[in-house]
Structure 1
Amino acid sequence: MKDATIKRVGVSGTGMISHCFVRLIMQHYKDMTISRVLTRRRIDTLGDFPLRDALTNSIDDLLEHSDIIVECTGDVFFGTEVIERAFEAGLPVVTINAELQVTTGSHLAGKGLLTEAEGDQPGSLAALHEEALQMGFKPLVYGNMKGYLNHNPSLEDMTYWSKRQGISLEQTTSFTDGTKVQIEQVVVGNGFGATITRRGLEGLASTDLNVSGQVLGLIADGVGQPIVDYVLPSGYPAGGVFLVCRHDEMQAQAIEYFKLGPGPYYVLTRPFHLCSLEVGKTVRRVLAGGGVLLNNSVSPTLGVAAIAKREMRAGEIIARGIGGFDVRGEAVKLAEELDHVPIGLLRNTVLKRPVEPGQLITFDDIEVQPSRVLDILTQQQQTVRQRIATDTQPTTLRQAL
């Protein structure tokens, strides 16, 4: 008989995150068990996987033997299929897949419990956000610390660093060309109602996070709305996340005594994010009824557009968007770039006309293959257009509608 107190965790994906997460649960979580691990690979090729008996190629098998799903494939198309099937089965889903969140996550968030996990930068920012609110802080800036940036890295360099770091070529490339940080910050912005100050974010070069935090705080106050952004540290470690906050003036003297400075802007930092080692915290949170930590919201205002890295001719194929060598991602306001192509949609996509380096790719530029992801994005785009049209109507007409 199954012990009802031990929850069955089903995992989708067999990459590095999955390896580390499965080992963590096996060795340190007595209230959970890894029941199934879904893979699209041949099972006999995964001899190094830490729990080979749990491997399956069947989504049905995964769902039948799970109480919760952890989706960590990094794949927008397959991940969307798995999550939709999980919701049909009434299962909650924790993701370590910001790429999916920013592409189809808003649609999915309206269908079931979907949350990003603590550990990756968006989830870590969400956890820091919760702590800040409990201490009375008002977040103005949701910040990411990025160690290195090269908008157009070479295949040779990315192949070298991929092998050295033990992660995929696609991940290495998306980290390096800035696509990943744009995706992460857009998810945070949508989740917490923050905005951006310009396409692609500010991306401040920073030698002192407190000084950079003051600058970003001033920018946010000028905008009149919380913002998301990132810094490029020099002289201090990268890899963490931070908030720039305000607090009650009557608390200023105490906060300065607590070593956060005289204000009015206070920088709260979390100097690490440990990816797979922290995912279990969010799984436990959901199983305990704690609800969503972070998702892309059901009414996003931000997206990540595909920007050409190089000159391309009509008829050329964009093999992949995220982590490829043809395009990179930049954060955009949906209302200002209605025709942009979300970078997560691009996969073996044919160009209908030439594009120049730095050009934003629109739907008129490409031939899109039919897919469930395209259906979802088309529906989301229509919703955004309707929302914008409603917001621009006279007040009396909006009230009548």
Structure 2
Amino acid sequence: MSDATVKRIGVSGTGMISHCFVRLIMQHYKDVTISRVLTRRKLDELAGFPLPMALTNSIDDLIEHSDIIVECSGDVFYGTEVVERAFEAGLPVVTVNAELQVTTGSYLAGQGLITEAEGDQPGSLAALHEDAVQMGFTPLVYGNMKGYLNHNPSREDMAYWSAKQGTSITQTTSFTDGTKVQIEQVVVGNGFGATISRPGLEGLASTNLDVSANVLGLIADGLGQPIVDYVIPSGYSAGGVFLVCRHDENQAPAIEYFKLGRGPYYVLTRPFHLCSLEVGKTVRRVLAGGGVLLNNSVAPTLGVAAIAKREMKPGDVIERGIGGFDVRGEAIRLADETDHVPIGLLRHTALRRAVEPGQMITFDDVDLLPSRALDIVVQQRDKLKAKQEAAPVILPNLRQVAQ
């Protein structure tokens, strides 16, 4: 790192998160500065960017002029390249890219310091987790609140909502079809050693968070392990995150007095996640030596599989996995589905075999384009299979459990 008092932040990505983050640092932070912003677009196409003189198309330029990297490109493949280059230079990385974390993040976590930022739901849950543990709570459920779910939305609807909300069609689609929440919750589960109750999570329709939290708490207690999940609120505001926790029995009278209920399950909420406005907190954390807030861990147990939305035949091309109209993401246990293709790997992917709606895409079903991300995933998959063969463990089949 530079010895200068003011630390230099290099940013990868020029989307909405990057725009807002750069403005925040420029206007409100004095101890750090934006040194470079990496983009794959032509620089003259970004005239409206808040700090045009920092723009660059060169990863070398980004790395040379940075003390820390904020990766918010939203791209698994390019993001992986940027993170590896940052690690080669000894730089820490803060990401707002759960898609990268869940695809190649576990490998990367073994190569250097990579952490998800506070602000998006996974980082917000991690911050709430830290607060809860410091207060003596034991988290049982890491919960996300989702405003709306449609597993197979139309292109026309997604175009309408994309224009209305000012987000890309791919972002809008990944939010709507549930892929984003599955990715986010898998990262949280891997980061904190939690599991899932069934493939795709419970996703409870909820008119009362306390009631839904108790249901999820009972499920976690039944499994004997913390779980990740989400609710779809009706009648109360969505958009935040929550924990379902236990505490010491001798603290129960005080906790009830503090208006958190009688227990045994206590619900802690964080009713906001302000994305780019909170990323700076994690940057400062890392620069101050605070370490990782959350990553996908070096030994993940969960992944996000691709589930077909429609009937497809051999030769059909899945143009994109996350945010596309061919597949959606679903949380799975890696030990149960060792042949699944992580949804983050699907881009311009031709099918070898026909698939039906609801079918999980496997490596035998597709021809994947070569990439560094694919190399990493295959390496991780081979390690998991070798571990299973060397020390077979009898695990419950989650599909049977769900039935």
What is the TM-score of this pair, normalised by structure 1?
A: 0.97
1:2-401 matches, within 5 Å, as 4-392=4-392
Q: Which amino acid aligns with 1:392?
A: P
Structure 2 unaligned runs (5+)?
Answer: 395-403
Aligned-residue sequence identity (percent) comes to 80
- Distance in 2 (CA, whole Å) between partners of 1:382 and 1:269 is 39
SS across alignment from 1:386 = helix
Deviation at 1:383, TM superposition (A): 1.2
Q: 3-state DSSP class of the match of 1:315? A: coil
Kindly state the Cα deviation for residue 391 of structure 1 after the two structures are TM-superposed: 3.4
Q: Deviations over 1:350-369 (max 9, x none)?
A: 00011000000011110111
Say what the alpha-carbon RMSD is for the aligned residues: 1.0
Partner Cα distance (1:3, 1:310) in 2: 55
Matched to 1:128, the amino acid is L
User: C-alpha displacement at 1:385, in angstroms?
Assistant: 1.1
Larger mean Cα displacement after TM superposition, 380-389 or 60-69? 380-389
Q: Deviations over 1:142-169 (max 9, x none)?
A: 0000000000000011011111111111
Moved more, 66-75 or 385-394: 385-394
Separation of aligned partners in 2, 1:308 and 1:334? 19
Q: Name the counterpart of 2:398.
A: none
After the TM superposition, list the runs of 4 or more consecutive aligned residues in structure 1 that deviate by more than 6 angstroms: none
Deviation at 1:384, TM superposition (A): 1.1
**1:397 maps to what in 2?**
none
C-alpha displacement at 1:95, in angstroms? 0.1
SS, match of residue 84 in structure 2: helix
The residue identity in structure 1 corresponding to 2:82 is: V
For residue 30 of structure 1, report the CA deviation from its aligned partner: 0.4
Give, in whole Å, the separation in 2 of the partners of 1:393 and 1:359.
Answer: 26
CA offset at residue 172 of structure 1?
A: 0.4
* 1:199-239 CA-partner distances (Å, limit 9, x unpaired): 00000000000110011000000000000000000000000
Q: Which string of whole-angstrom CA distances, capped at 9 and with x for unpartnered residues, describes residues 114-148 of structure 1?
A: 00000000000000000000000000000000000
CA distance in 2 between partners of 1:388 and 1:255 (Å): 44
For residue 285 of structure 1, give the secondary structure of its aligned residue in structure 2.
Answer: helix
**Following TM superposition, by how much is the alpha carbon of 1:393 offset from its aligned partner in structure 2, in angstroms?**
6.9
- Residue 349 of structure 1 aligns to a residue whose secondary structure is strand
Deviates more, 1:3-12 or 1:152-161: 3-12
Structure 1 unpaired stretches of 5+: 395-401
Could you list the per-position Cα deviations for residues 89-129 of structure 1 after superposition, in whole angstroms to 9, with x for gaps in the alignment? 10000000000000000000000000000000000000000
Structure 1 residue 392, shift from structure 2 partner: 1.7
